[in-house]
C-alpha cells in the first residue's frame, strides 16, 4: 500500500550531542502521537549508528543523506552501501539538488547509487526537481522526466517498488518560497503518470511521491491534502522536533 512519509533531511547540521537531543525529542514526541505516516530522520553519516539505535526501540526509521556508487575500496571520505546496511539503515537520499550542484553528481552516478542501495536492501529516496530558470522557460516537466529516466527508470519492477520519489523544485529549497499546492499536485501527477507508463498503473499507485521545498507546519496540510502528494522531504523545519512533528501530524 502507498505510504505517507515525512522524512527529515538534517543536511550538515548539529553536533553529536545536539543530534542525539533532536532524535530523542522526535522519538519521545512520536510516542504520544497516532501517526498517519512513516517518520524518517536522515542525520549526518557520523550519527547514523546512534540514530539507528533509537530506531530499534521506536517507530522512527533512519535514512542516510548520501552513498558511494562503489561498494568498497580507495575512495577516501566516502561511505558505502554495505556500511549503511551494517548499521541497519533503511533509506538513503540520492540525487539531492545540493549534491547535483556542489558535487556534480550525474544521472549515471545516481543510477549506480540506486542499484547499489537496492543490492544492500536500502530504499532510495530519489530527488528530482527543476531550477527556477527551467520553470520559467516551461521545461520543468522535461527536466524531471530526464532526471527520472537517467536515475531510476532502468530499475526492474521489483526494484522500483522499493523506491521513494521526492519532487523538490530547487527554487523552493531553503528559500521560504514553497510550491503552491496546485504546482506540487500538477508535478506529482505528472511523475505518477510517467511511472505508470514505464512500469504499471499498480506500481504507480503504490509509489510514495514526497514534496520538498520550504515545507513547514503552516503549509504542510495544504500540500499533503493533494491526492498525489504522499508527504514531504523536510530540510530546515526538520531541525526542530516540534516543527517536524507538527508536519508529521498534518495528514487528514
Ligand atoms: C531539502 O533540502 O530537501 C529541503 C526540502 O529543504 P527545505 O525544507 O529547507 O527547503
Render each residue's pLDDT in the chain as its tens digit; 252 residues: 799 999 999 999 999 999 999 999 999 999 989 999 999 999 999 999 999 999 999 999 999 999 999 999 999 999 999 999 999 999 999 999 999 999 999 999 999 999 999 999 999 999 999 999 999 999 999 999 999 999 999 999 999 999 999 999 999 998 988 999 999 999 999 999 999 999 999 999 999 999 999 999 999 999 999 999 999 999 999 999 999 999 999 998
Instruction: Give the Å distances, CA to CA, from 94 to 116, 228, 250.
Output: 11, 21, 25
Rounded to 5°, angle at Cα 162 from 159 and 166: 120
pLDDT of residue 176: 87
Domains of the chain: 5-60+123-248 (3.20.20.70)
Model pTM score: 0.97
pLDDT of residue 192: 98
Residue nearest to atom 8 of ligand 1 (CA): 235
CA of 131 to the centre of ligand 1 (A): 14
Which residues lie with the beta carbon below 6 Å from any ligand 1 atom?
9, 168, 173-174, 212-215, 233-237
Residue nearest to atom 7 of ligand 1 (CA): 235
Question: Which of 9, 40, 217, 248, when mutated, tests ligand 1's pocket best, judged by the most ligand atoms within 8 Å of its CB?
Answer: 9
DSSP track, 43-64: --GGGHHHHHHHHHTSS-EEEE
Distance between CA atoms of residues 33 and 39, nearest Å: 12
The residues assigned a catalytic role are 96, 168
Residue nearest to atom 3 of ligand 1 (CA): 235
- Left, alpha or beta for 251 (phi > 0: left; psi -120 to 50: alpha)? beta
Amino acid at each position: 500500500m502507498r505510504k505517507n512519509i515525512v522524512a527529515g533531511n538534517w543536511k550538515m547540521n548539529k553536533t553529536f550531542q545536539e543530534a542525539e537531543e533532536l532524535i530523542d525529542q522526535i522519538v519521545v514526541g512520536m510516542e504520544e502521537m497516532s501517526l498517519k505516516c512513516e517518520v524518517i530522520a536522515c542525520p549526518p553519516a557520523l550519527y547514523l549508528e546512534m540514530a539507528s539505535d533509537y530506531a530499534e526501540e521506536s517507530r522512527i526509521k533512519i535514512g542516510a543523506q548520501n552513498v558511494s556508487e562503489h561498494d568498497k575500496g580507495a575512495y577516501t571520505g566516502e561511505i558505502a552501501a554495505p556500511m549503511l546496511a551494517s548499521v541497519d539503515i533503511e533509506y538513503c537520499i540520492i540525487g539531492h539538488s545540493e549534491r547535483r550542484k556542489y558535487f556534480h553528481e550525474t544521472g549515471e552516478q545516481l543510477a549506480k547509487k540506486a542499484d547499489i542501495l537496492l543490492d544492500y536492501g536500502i530504499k532510495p529516496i530519489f530527488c528530482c526537481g527543476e531550477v527556477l530558470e527551467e520553470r520559467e522557460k516551461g521545461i520543468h516537466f522535461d527536466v524531471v522526466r530526464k532526471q527520472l529516466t537517467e536515475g531510476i527508470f532502468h530499475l526492474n519492477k521489483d526494484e522500483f517498488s522499493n523506491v521513494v520519489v521526492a519532487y523538490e523544485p530547487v527554487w523552493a529549497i531553503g528559500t521560504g518560497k514553497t510550491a503552491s499546492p496546485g504546482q506540487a499536485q500538477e508535478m506529482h501527477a505528472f511523475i505518477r503518470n510517467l511511472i505508470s507508463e514505464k512500469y504499471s498503473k499498480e506500481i504507480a499507485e503504490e509509489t510514495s511521491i514526497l514534496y520538498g521545498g520550504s515545507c513547514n507546519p503552516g503549509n504542510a496540510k495544504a500540500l499533503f491534502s493533494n491526492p498525489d502528494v504522499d508527504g514531504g522531504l523536510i530540510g530546515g523545519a526538520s531541525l526542530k522536533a516540534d516543527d517536524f512533528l507538527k508536519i508529521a501530524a498534518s495528514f487528514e
